[in-house]
């Protein structure tokens, strides 16, 4: 898997569609309550749609974010998994993919 800075070898048998994946490094603590921590790498399966409740990598303007996705009546809610943070409410966003795994360096 690749992100913009690194390449990570992961056994192919861990994932079905290894060619349709990428990794993002998490910055911040917006997803701590579901176990995704600052500095972690999430493994993202490329998809342009998501089901309610899935954790997505989404593009808002020129910035990628990882949040829980909810399509609601008149908007999309990108919900952080941190009770001290407010959701992002938007009319549209670009879904880059669904988070399917996590890589963490234990220091």
Overall fold of domain 12-103: Umud Fragment, subunit A (2.10.109)
Which entry of 18, 30, 63, 73 is annotated as an active-site residue? 30
CB neighbourhood size of 58 (10 A): 20
**What are the pLDDT digits (tens) for 32-86?**
999 999 999 999 999 999 999 999 999 998 889 999 999 999 999 999 999 999 9
Q: 84 catalytic, yes or no?
A: no
pTM: 0.87
Q: In b/e form, how buried is each residue of 9-31, taking b as 16+ CB within 10 angstroms?
A: eeeeeebeeeeebbbbebeeebb
Q: Mean of the pLDDT values across residues 93-100?
A: 95
Query: Contact 105/98 with Cβ under 8 angstroms?
Result: no
Q: 67 catalytic, yes or no?
A: yes
Q: How far apart are CA 35 and CA 79, in angstroms?
A: 15
Which entry of 16, 46, 63, 67 is annotated as an active-site residue? 67
Fill in the DSSP letter of residue 28.
S
Confidence of residue 3 (pLDDT cuts 50, 70, 90): very low
């Amino acid at each position: 898997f690749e992100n913009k800075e690194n390449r990570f070898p992961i056994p192919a048998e861990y994932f079905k569609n290894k060619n349709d994946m990428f990794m993002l490094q998490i910055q911040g603590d917006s997803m701590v309550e579901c176990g995704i921590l600052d500095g972690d790498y999430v493994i993202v399966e490329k998809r342009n749609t998501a089901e309610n409740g899935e954790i997505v990598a989404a593009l808002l303007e020129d910035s990628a974010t990882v949040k829980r996705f909810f399509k609601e009546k008149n908007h999309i809610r990108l919900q952080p998994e941190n009770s001290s943070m407010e959701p992002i409410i938007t009319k549209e966003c670009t879904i880059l993919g669904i988070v399917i795994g996590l890589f963490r360096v234990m220091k």
